[in-house]
Amino acid sequence: MSDETTRPAGVRAGRAEEERRRRIEHGELERAAEHPWPYGGSVPQHAMRDLKGYIDAERGRVLGGATPQMRDRMRAAERRGEVFAAWNAVMATSPEVAREKDHVTGLYYAEADNALVVYVDAQAWGTNLTMMREILRTRMEFQGARVSKIVVRVSREGYRRR
């Protein structure tokens, strides 16, 4: 057994922190940020902590150089993503819709009406989801996506979920 595996966890963490500080002093850490892990391997933990900051900075850079029309489209895409993420979270955590969620064939967010259109594969499943739509809408609101209504429609004949 090597000396490395017999050391307490705190000692190994201290060596990792020393290595990180050394890399910062020598400028290696900045180069790693410019070209993040091109040859595979695991992502360093400091990079995971800084990921949110990187995403926020990149979003600001993209929005800063965009035209007003592009900004509106980006905000609409972010809103659509929030609505779909809230729907998926509600479907994943609600035992009442365990059967119904398997019959949803598609989603469409109508931004002008602030409505979520849900497509199902049969009228019976559409009826079930229609009866539950206010409950689902409220749960989506708790997930952070407020929609004014949920419209349930039956997909065209022969359409299958991908």
Which structure tokens are listed for 118?
Answer: 């849900």
Rounded to two decimals, the pTM is 0.61
Residue 110: pLDDT above 80?
A: yes
The pLDDT value recorded for residue 70 is 87
Query: For residues 118 and 84, is the Cβ–Cβ distance under 8 A?
Result: no
- In this prediction, residue 155 carries a pLDDT of 87
C-alpha span between 40 and 42 (Å, rounded): 7
At residue 39 the predicted structure's pLDDT band, cuts being 50, 70 and 90, is very low
CA distances from 65 to 44, 68, 70, 122, 141 (A): 30, 10, 9, 46, 32
Domain boundaries, given as residue ranges, for the chain = 10-34+41-64, 68-154
User: Is CATH 3.30.300.20 what the domain over 68-154 is classified as, yes or no?
Assistant: yes
pLDDT: is 50 or 44 the higher one? 50
